[in-house]
Structure 1
C-alpha cells in the first residue's frame, strides 16, 4: 500500500487511513491502485474523473498515460468531450446502442478507423446524434 501511496501521489496520513476520509480525487486514485497493481492487460474506465477537481484530473490523466505507455490497453467511457479528445488514440462513437463510427486522433496513424476521419468535436457530435460523415 505504501508503494501505491507514493506512486500515485495519494494524499493521506498513511496506509491505515480510511478511504472515506480522503478527498474525491484521492479516493479515485485508491480505486486505481486496487486495479493497476495486479498488472492488467486491459483496463476499462467509466467516467474516471467524474466529481474530482482539476488538479486530481491531471494526476489521474498522468496515471492513465503511464499505464498506456506500459502497454495496458485503456478503454475509457466519458461524457466529457474535452477528456475524450485529450486522452484518446481512437474514439468509438455509439448512438442508440449502435456503433456509428471510429475516429482517429489527429496525431496518430490509426488503421482501424471509419472513413479515416479525425476525432474532433464536430465529427463526434454528428455521429453521436445519428448523423453520418461525408
Structure 2
C-alpha cells in the first residue's frame, strides 16, 4: 500500500516507523485490538471499518471518498466515525460521503447531491435539506438549492 511505501527503507520496512504509525491510528480511531499484530479479519466489524479508514488516512489524502462507511457497525462506532469525519473536515480534508442512510447524510453533509436513476436529481445546502426534500428529489428529481 502507499502507506507502507512511505515507511520503506530500500526493500525493507522501517519497523519502528510502522509501529508509530499504527499506534497513532489505533489511538486516534480507538481501534479495540489485543495487539498491533492482530489480523484485521478477527476484529469486530466496527474495528475492521476503523482499520480501513486508518489505511486511507495514513496516506494523508486531500479528499476521502467513503461509500456506506457506517453500514453494519454498532451505534457507538457510528458515533466515533461521525466525530472523526468532523475532525477531518476541520483539518481541511474534503469528504465525499456516499450513503443511503438519510439521517446520516443530513447530519454530515454540508452539500447534498441526490441521485435518481444514475443522474443528478438535485442539490441541497445543509440549511435547506430535510428528509422530505431529499425524498422528493429522489422520487421526482430536478431542483437545485445552494442556500
For Structure 1 versus Structure 2, the TM-score category normalised by the shorter chain is 0.7 to 0.9
Unmatched segments (≥5 aa) in structure 2:
1-21
Aligned-pair distance for 1:132?
Answer: 4.5
Unmatched segments (≥5 aa) in structure 1:
107-117
Across the aligned residues of Structure 1 and Structure 2, the Cα RMSD in angstroms comes to: 1.3
Q: TM-score, normalised by structure 1?
A: 0.88
Deviations 1:39-87 (A, max 9, x none): 1011110000000000010011111111111101100010110000011
Structure-to-structure mapping, 1:1-134, within 5 angstroms: 1-106=22-127, 118-132=128-142
Name the structure where helix makes up a greater proportion of residues.
2
- The DSSP-based 3-state class of the residue aligned with 1:52 is coil
Aligned-pair distance for 1:130?
Answer: 2.1
Residues 126 and 132, structure 1, Cα contact 8 Å, conserved in 2: no
Q: TM-score, normalised by structure 2?
A: 0.80
Tell me, in whole angstroms, the C-alpha distance in 1 between the residues paired with 2:63 and 2:96.
7
